[in-house]
């Protein structure tokens, strides 16, 4: 069959990232709540306790993004034809940007410095996961014999 242009793999990567990230994110939130409820029964309140509680909710959610983008990067790297790590990173970062825009439009990320830091963290983690996944996928790409 004919190969897709690399630009189509950017859209495929964005869609696949969101498709994977939503259920993984839901599982991550359930895990974070379970960790928090178990830890909260043992810990006393205070500033450090609030920070630890926030980490228990945020770290699994961010790990779900890295997992989704790594899987997406591996798929693009392995099956992307002429596409490679660049298209995987662009698509995954586009998905993170779309999720961020949706969240900002709902009013959930206030004040604006929180929104800006969140965008930076999501973008960086999406790019990192996609790049690592694409690297693994490219190594697994079949090599075609050279025709002389």
Q: Give pLDDT, residue 46.
A: 65
Mean per-residue pLDDT, 94-103:
97
Q: Of 76, 96, 95, whose CA–CA distance to 86 is shortest?
A: 76
Residue 80 near residue 9 (C-beta atoms within 8 A): yes
Dihedral angle sign, alpha carbons of residues 104, 110, 115, 118: negative
Dump pLDDT digits (tens) for 18-65.
Answer: 999 999 999 999 999 998 888 776 655 666 777 888 899 999 999 999
Residue 73 near residue 134 (C-beta atoms within 8 A): yes
Q: Give pLDDT, residue 37.
A: 86
d(C-alpha 134, C-alpha 126), whole Å: 12
pTM here is 0.89
Residue 64 near residue 25 (C-beta atoms within 8 A): yes
């Amino acid at each position: 069959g004919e190969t897709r242009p690399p630009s189509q793999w950017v859209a495929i990567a964005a869609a696949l990232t969101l498709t994977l990230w939503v259920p993984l994110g839901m599982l991550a939130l359930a895990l974070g709540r379970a960790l928090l409820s178990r830890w909260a029964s043992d810990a006393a309140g205070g500033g450090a306790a609030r920070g630890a509680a926030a980490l228990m909710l945020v770290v699994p959610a961010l790990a779900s993004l890295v997992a989704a983008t790594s899987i997406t990067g591996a798929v693009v790297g392995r099956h992307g034809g002429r596409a490679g790590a660049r298209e995987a990173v662009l698509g995954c970062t586009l998905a993170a940007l779309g999720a961020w825009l949706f969240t900002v439009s709902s009013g959930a990320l206030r004040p604006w410095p929180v929104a800006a830091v969140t965008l930076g963290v999501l973008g960086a983690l999406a790019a990192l996961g996609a790049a690592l996944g694409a690297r693994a996928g490219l190594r697994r790409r079949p090599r075609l014999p050279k025709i002389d």
